[in-house]
């Protein structure tokens, strides 16, 4: 049972509180020891997306103790410019950081209030960890980083924004861009500079939660393919060393799941 496009759309809808795949979410949280919804890092809005990302690794056979989606599960990772930083979803196995994900959003009505904060957060998290790798603070296989971002789709995020007049002129490309356009370019540059290994950038709203993917290379198809490629790469190197199916399939992770209409129903 793979992670599907419908799983992705349901998770984005759940961000807006519109739709909840409650049975599967609660089963995955129980399987990885994440406890209640309120314990998940990022608050209830990102619960379903954290669960969606966890599902990739549960399906691939990673033991529940390798998957962290709750604050109580120790989401902190070593940094270089600071001792540590708390990520949103962390998968470790033996001495390898299998994957770490940041999940962020930008909403209105005043998009400008938090736009720079979101940019600085994404840059700071990646640069800090990448530098820590160079300092040999991560001793296993090279860490893999993912970034999932939701931009609220409304008039304010679609409207062109004029850069402020500063001491020196801004790069020409920024003129005439909306906040949606600005963040699309930002995410493309994150990938071009290899600060993140995969980025998913979507626009959505409570009124119309079905996600729109403005940049083809940053869509869900590419993001999920990158996660799957990471899992396959480590599998060739012997991680995690067994598959979930080899030790009893989903029932071994979620006892009674079939009877409850859980993953087997997908």
- Beta strands per DSSP E along the chain: 67-68, 76-78, 84-86, 89-93, 96-106, 145-152, 198-204
Instruction: State yes or no: pLDDT of 244 exceeds 60.
Output: no
- Tens of pLDDT, residue by residue over 57-115, are 999 999 999 999 998 899 999 999 999 999 999 999 999 999 999 999 999 999 999 99
- Tens of pLDDT, residue by residue over 127-157, are 999 999 999 999 999 999 999 999 999 999 9
Is residue 46 exposed (0-12), middle (13-18) or buried (19+ Cβ within 10 Å)?
A: buried
Instruction: State yes or no: pLDDT of 259 exceeds 60.
Output: no
| Residue of 97, 98, 71, 96 whose CA lies nearest to 86 | 71
Q: Look at residue 174 and give its three-state secondary structure.
A: helix
Which residues are registered as beta bridge partners of 96? 93
What the block records as the tokens of 155 is 């008039």
- The answer to whether 45 and 204 are in contact (CB under 8 A) is no
Cis check: omega of the bond before 109, within 30 degrees of 0? yes
Residue 23 is predicted with a pLDDT of 53
Terminal-residue alpha carbon distance, the chain? 7
Give every CB contact of residue 109 below 8 A, 6+ residues apart in sequence.
154, 156
- The answer to whether 19 and 47 are in contact (CB under 8 A) is no
pTM, entire model = 0.85
Band the pLDDT of 194: cuts 50, 70, 90. Answer: very high
What the block records as the tokens of 123 is 């840059």
């Amino acid at each position: 049972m793979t992670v599907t496009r419908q799983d992705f759309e349901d998770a984005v809808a759940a961000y807006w509180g519109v739709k909840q795949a409650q049975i599967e979410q609660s089963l995955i949280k129980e399987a990885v020891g994440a406890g209640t919804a309120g314990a998940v890092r990022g608050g209830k809005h990102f619960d379903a997306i954290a669960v969606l990302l966890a599902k990739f690794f549960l399906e691939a056979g990673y033991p529940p103790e390798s998957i962290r989606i709750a604050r109580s599960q120790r989401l902190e990772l070593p940094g270089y410019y600071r001792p540590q930083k708390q990520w949103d979803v962390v998968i470790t196995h033996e001495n390898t950081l299998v994957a770490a994900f940041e999940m962020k959003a930008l909403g209105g009505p005043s998009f400008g209030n938090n736009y720079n904060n979101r940019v600085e957060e994404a840059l700071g998290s990646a640069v800090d960890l990448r530098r820590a790798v160079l300092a040999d603070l991560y001793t296993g296989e090279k860490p893999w980083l993912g970034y999932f971002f939701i931009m609220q789709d409304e008039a304010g995020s679609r409207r062109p924004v004029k850069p402020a007049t500063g001491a020196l002129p801004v790069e020409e490309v920024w003129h005439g861009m909306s906040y949606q356009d600005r963040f699309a370019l930002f995410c493309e540059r994150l990938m071009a500079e290899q600060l993140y290994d995969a980025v998913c950038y979507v626009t959505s709203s409570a009124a119309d939660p079905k996600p729109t993917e403005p940049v083809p290379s940053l869509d869900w198809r590419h993001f999920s393919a990158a996660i799957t490629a990471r899992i396959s790469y480590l599998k060739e190197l012997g991680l995690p060393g067994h598959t979930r199916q080899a030790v009893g399939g989903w029932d071994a992770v979620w006892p009674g799941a079939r009877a409850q209409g859980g993953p087997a129903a997908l």
